[in-house]
Amino acid sequence: MDSTLETLTVSAEKRKSSLAQAIANQVRQGWSMESQSDFQAVLVKHGTKTNHLLHLILTLLTLGLWVFVWIGVALFKKREKHLVITVDEFGNTNLQR
């Protein structure tokens, strides 16, 4: 039974190559590398930042009406996301958000 498992596992170089390919695919989609080991990587996608000065000016120009939009933007803006990529001993790539 153990010899069967050994034949199913892949080399460390193949696992590293699979991880590099998975990272490259995610970087093309806008993710950035945060940290990496031999068989695991953590990627991050930064959220949008609210331009508070612009919203303050618009609130003043609209005599306070824009404040509701400003609150909505501040509450529902995109947050930072993390993605963990791992490659197991069989060469399978796993993504966890």
Q: Where are the alpha helices (DSSP H) in the chain?
A: 2-8, 12-28, 52-61, 67-76
- Output 79 or 20, whichever has higher pLDDT: 20
List, for residues 77-97, the tens digit of each pLDDT value. 878 899 999 999 999 999 999
Q: What DSSP state is assigned to residue 3?
A: H
* Structural domain boundaries, residue 84: 2-96
How many Cβ atoms from other residues are within 10 Å of residue 39's Cβ? 16
Radius of gyration of the chain (CA): 22
Mean pLDDT score of the chain: 91
Count how many domains the chain has: 1
- Residue 43: pLDDT band (50, 70, 90) is very high
Match 């791992």 to its residue by tokens.
86
Alpha-carbon distance of 16 to 5, in angstroms, equals 19
Under DSSP, is residue 95 helix (H, G, I), strand (E, B) or coil? strand
pTM over 0.85: no
